[in-house]
Amino acid sequence: MKNRLKVSIVGGSGYAGGELLRILLNHPKVSIQQVTSQRFVNQHVGVAHPNLRKQTGLLFSSLSELRRCDLLFVGLPNKKSAEKMPQFMKLAPKIIDLGCDFRLKNPSDYKKWYQWEHPEPNLLKKFVYGIAELHREKLKEVDFVACGGCEATCSILALYPLVKNSLIKDNQVIIDAKLGSSAAGNRPTLASHHPERSGCVRSYKPTGHRHTAEVVQELKVDEVHISATAIEMVRGVLITAQVFLLKNIQEKDIWQVYHQEYGREPFIRIIKSKTGVFRYPEPKILAGTNFCDIGFEKDHLSNRLVVIAAIDNLTKGTAGQAVQAMNIMVGWEETLGLKFPGLHPI
């Protein structure tokens, strides 16, 4: 364990915390110092994450027991992270926040989208949005990172090449997002109760999705319209984006644009096949991976382009994104600890 980066996790008993633990336990250059949970203090992490039994001897600590470390991952509920961030900054020189509290740069956006005043607005400018494919160079220099929301991450990565190359009308972006149940966290509610959730295709946020603010901010587009649907799947996000091309270009030209932007990206795969079951992105085969799969199809009758993208909300959408950012921040190979290719069949 000598010379390994000492990291701790605040809020490690949730699904994202468990995914982060799973990845970090197999990271060749990291030593996990502490994992906090108010619900499971002094209990083995396997109580909350049974897949980690016999993988570690770590016990959950209380937040009050948190000690200094090299890098701190924070996975607290909305607003809680912001309230405690000055305290966390005294304990670690580098921090990666997995929640929403530092994603948006304009403090007024928190009032608009989350209905609360940001308790530490002066800290917002210190954080870089954690999507490496957009902000790799900034991540090399920064000490504080705010990971993107899972649906926002998928949407941003899907549309970024088109926006960057000025190919679409930036006031006509319509996104249909389908999400698995783990995106709602591990606190049970009536909506997640098995008799209520099982078999459902439930539209739960037809308008006003909070991740809209992130997509607008990062893509710098005029308008984005998101509708979210909960489906009977545990892990995964699938977005289907309807956009309209400014000029009538061919699919091969669109493919070239995506290849130009993402051809060297280790975790972006362009899925474009005319045959086979998996000719478009599919969340199921991405479970546990840090990949974002992106595909598209042009409507031959119009200038409408349908862009389809998939990720695992807990990996590329949260914990994997955080580890990818950590690797870049400390100057390591970006793919360290993130090479799991997924399973098929599953």
The reply to whether the predicted model has a pTM over 0.95 is yes
CA distance 332 to 266: 14
Tokens linked to 155: 């949407």
Domain spans, the chain: 5-148+316-329, 150-313
pLDDT truncated to tens, each residue of the chain (346 aa)? 568 999 999 999 999 999 999 999 999 999 999 999 999 999 999 999 999 999 999 999 999 999 999 999 999 999 999 999 999 999 999 999 999 999 999 999 999 999 999 999 999 999 999 999 999 999 999 999 999 999 999 999 999 999 999 999 988 899 999 999 999 888 888 888 889 889 999 999 999 999 999 999 999 999 999 999 999 999 999 999 999 999 989 999 999 999 999 999 999 999 988 888 999 999 999 999 999 999 999 999 999 999 999 999 999 999 999 999 999 999 999 999 999 999 999 9
Q: What is the pLDDT of residue 306?
A: 98
CA distance 268 to 251: 19
The set of residues, in sequence order, having a beta carbon less than 8 Å from that of 263 and lying 6+ positions away, is none
100 φ, ψ (degrees, to nearest 5): -90, -10
The set of residues, in sequence order, having a beta carbon less than 8 Å from that of 44 and lying 6+ positions away, is 57, 58, 59, 60
CA distance 310 to 308: 7
What is the CATH topology of the domain spanning 150-313?
Dihydrodipicolinate Reductase; domain 2 (3.30.360)
Domain 5-148+316-329 carries which CATH code?
Answer: 3.40.50.720
Query: How many beta carbons lie within 10 A of that of residue 219, not counting itself?
Result: 20
CA distance 134 to 142: 14
Peptide bond into 86 cis (omega under 30): no
215 φ, ψ (degrees, to nearest 5): -65, -45
141 φ, ψ (degrees, to nearest 5): -110, -15
147, 150, 154, 292: which is the annotated catalytic residue? 150
CA distance 5 to 33: 9
Q: What is the pLDDT of residue 246?
A: 95
How many whole angstroms from its chain centre is CA 230?
Answer: 17
The set of residues, in sequence order, having a beta carbon less than 8 Å from that of 280 and lying 6+ positions away, is 271, 295, 308
Place of tokens 């970024």: 160
Helix (H, G, I), strand (E, B) or coil at 5: strand
Q: What is the pLDDT of residue 171?
A: 84
Q: Is 147 a catalytic residue?
A: no
Q: Edge to edge, what strands does the sheet with 268-270 contain?
A: 201-205, 224-231, 173-179, 237-244, 304-311, 292-298, 268-270
Q: What is the pLDDT of residue 2?
A: 63
129 φ, ψ (degrees, to nearest 5): -65, 130
